[in-house]
């Protein structure tokens, strides 16, 4: 299992400091600069590409002109992906709200949304399949792919093994899952076994408030049962897959999070 770090502009220095093997690459840089120039900062740091991020691609966005630009960049990046050593490009699975991941939309939860998302993804997934590349859907509770079952339904509609999912267990958590995290992790990981080669790791907590407040919190301080998740990930993540520690807000959080991950990994005989 290989460890990647995804922490915005701090991804590379945090990865180097903590002995991780990979950092992410933006799909637009790959498409615009080419493989060598786009990868240069990662390679010069002695790292590999752990994921190609194309979160800006959202087939259901109402901003049609912006999405056509994103589609053109994605179609240019796909044939270049194998040369980066990373076959996985992560995209938004679909959201009728232009924010991407920051807000939901009433129509995201319908069967029609799955049908339209499948149509919007079909051509890029077909192109990816022809180049040995995966289009990995980033799930999210507010978006079209908000449960494992909806991802599996989307994959069936698209009809290609090149459509995979990023196993981001936190992004599937509904409010009730916060109180039963072990059961939620088991359900999510088991349902998606064999459908992912990337794992995103962060943590969540329930904050005080007069309604539902689920917020991110430093890894190891929240309610997500990563001990249980690691056992399942160790079983199901392909040997060349990536376990990506993400959303690190401060250097001290990275240190504590790595100590937490190291402890869990030892329990399951995993080396990151």
80 secondary structure, DSSP code: G
Verdict on whether the full-model pTM lies above 0.85: yes
Element (H, E) at 8: none
Return the domain boundaries, the chain.
Answer: 2-267
Q: Is 56 helix (H, G, I), strand (E, B) or coil?
A: strand
- 272 residues of the chain, pLDDT tens digit each: 999 999 999 999 999 999 999 999 999 999 999 999 999 999 999 999 999 999 999 999 999 999 999 999 999 999 999 999 999 999 999 999 999 999 999 999 999 999 999 999 999 999 999 999 999 999 999 999 999 999 999 999 999 999 999 999 999 999 999 999 999 999 999 999 999 999 999 999 999 888 889 999 999 999 999 999 999 999 999 999 999 999 999 888 999 999 999 999 999 999 88
Q: What is the CATH number of domain 2-267?
A: 3.20.20.150
CA–CA gap between residue 43 and residue 37 (Å, rounded): 10
Backbone region of residue 247 per phi and psi (left: phi > 0; alpha: psi in -120 to 50; beta: other values)? left
91-118 in b/e burial notation, b at 16+ Cβ within 10 A?
Answer: bbbbbbbeebbeebbeebeeeebbebbb
């Amino acid at each position: 299992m290989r460890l990647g770090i995804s922490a915005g502009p701090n991804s590379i220095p945090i990865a180097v400091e903590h002995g991780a093997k990979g950092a992410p690459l933006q799909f637009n840089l790959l498409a615009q600069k080419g493989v060598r120039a786009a990868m240069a900062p990662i390679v010069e740091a002695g790292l590999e590409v752990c994921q190609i991020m194309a979160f800006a691609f959202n087939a259901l966005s109402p901003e049609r002109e912006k999405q056509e630009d994103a589609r053109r960049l994605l179609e240019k990046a796909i044939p270049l992906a194998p040369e980066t050593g990373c076959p996985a490009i992560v995209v938004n699975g679909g959201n009728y709200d232009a924010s991407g991941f920051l807000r939901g939309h009433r129509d995201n939860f319908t069967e029609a949304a799955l049908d339209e998302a499948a149509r919007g993804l079909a051509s890029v997934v077909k192109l990816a399949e022809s180049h040995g590349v995966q289009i990995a859907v980033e799930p999210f509770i507010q978006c079209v792919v908000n449960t494992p079952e909806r991802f599996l339904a989307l994959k069936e509609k698209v009809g290609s093994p090149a459509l995979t999912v990023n196993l981001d267990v936190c992004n599937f958590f509904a409010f009730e899952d916060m109180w039963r995290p072990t059961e939620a992790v088991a359900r999510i990981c088991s349902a998606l076994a064999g459908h992912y080669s990337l794992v995103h790791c962060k943590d969540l907590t329930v904050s005080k408030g007069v309604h539902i407040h689920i917020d991110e919190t430093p890894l190891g301080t929240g309610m997500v049962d990563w001990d249980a998740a690691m056992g399942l990930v160790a079983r199901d993540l392909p040997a060349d897959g990536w376990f990506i520690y993400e959303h690190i807000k401060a250097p001290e959080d990275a240190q504590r999070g790595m100590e937490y991950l190291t402890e869990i990994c030892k329990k399951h005989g995993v080396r990151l």
